[in-house]
Amino acid sequence: MNVDPRNAPDTRFELQDVLQQPHRTDRQPNELSAQTSTPASGSEEQASFEQQLDDLDPDELNSVYLTSLPANCTTATSSPAPHERVPETSPYPATSFVNARAQLAATLTGATLAALRNEIDVAAHQSARWSPATSAPVDRDLVFDDVAGSSYVTLRRFQNQDNDCKPRAEENTRAISHIRNTARDHSSVGDPLERYTMDRARQAGWHMRGKTADSPFVSLVEDPSKRIVSRDHWARAIANNANTLHTYTVPTSAVWTPDDVLSSIGLGMNAEDQDTIDGDVDLMCSLGRTPTRETERLFLGGNLDDYRTGSEANPYKRDGAD
């Protein structure tokens, strides 16, 4: 269920989520870093943090790093005598610093791949000023591959227009705002068992069952080829009639899976709440019958277009379909 019916001529099935922002179809992955510039500090605290790092002497950094090493950790050089200057060959965790900054960009700001690459470049430039001249430069590509591989997931979406990727509710709320709000909701009630709040989990569950009119989610899939053999005739119709197939690389924290939704509803159900128990049981049974091969995933947020990394003509489009 990945295409908006308003843009699908001669079809009567429901295809969801439309985006108003224009899309640059000629954008290539290797052009992402070139399109970004160094972001300005977002707060006085960030500026202060950056200044403190700039003011540190390399010897101070080495000293901090060495005192944090475990007792059984060995280095290529012998331990210095008391009060002896740490030699310039002492290890400085430049790569760890850059990797940590990249992880924060992915998890705390919901960075796009372009913004992630930019943050790695900025952090590597900073660490180069503190590291000994003999230190090897940070392998930026390795850091990028590591963080992108662990904190992002690549999903696909059938669409008729480039801008058909906006939810029908809460369309102006960015994914990272939803993530922070969820964390805030959880912290306000302690440590709930369910991963998502019940209201959100129900919304996600009913979206997966086709009720998308008031949904803040956007549907995608891991494997688009599974849609052409789906037992859901609406899903097959989408795959057979959509004009394009788009690729999105999004933070995993913004993605909802059927198993996660099922678990949250099951753990959060209150058997004494007669107003919702019947609906929750029905929803769980419906989701439980969804074949695992469907690979449907939901994106919560109105800025899915920011994460687009590719686009192609739909290779599964049925001959003669308009």
Structure tokens at 168: 């029908």
**pLDDT on residue 143:** 97
- H/E element holding 284? helix 277-288
Q: For residues 53 and 131, give the distance between their C-alpha atoms in angstroms, rounded to a whole number.
A: 12
pTM: 0.69
pLDDT of the residue at 20: 35
From first to last of the 322 residues of the chain, give the pLDDT tens digit. 555 444 444 433 333 333 333 334 344 444 433 333 344 444 565 565 556 555 555 544 444 444 334 444 444 444 555 555 544 444 558 999 999 999 999 999 999 999 999 999 999 999 998 888 888 899 999 999 999 999 999 999 999 998 899 999 999 999 999 988 877 776 665 555 455 678 888 999 989 888 898 999 999 999 999 988 888 888 889 999 999 999 999 999 999 998 888 888 877 776 556 677 778 888 888 777 666 667 899 999 999 999 999 999 999 998 766 5
Query: What single letter denotes the amino acid at residue 52?
Result: Q
What's the confidence (pLDDT) of residue 199?
A: 85
Separation CA 265–CA 270 (nearest Å): 10
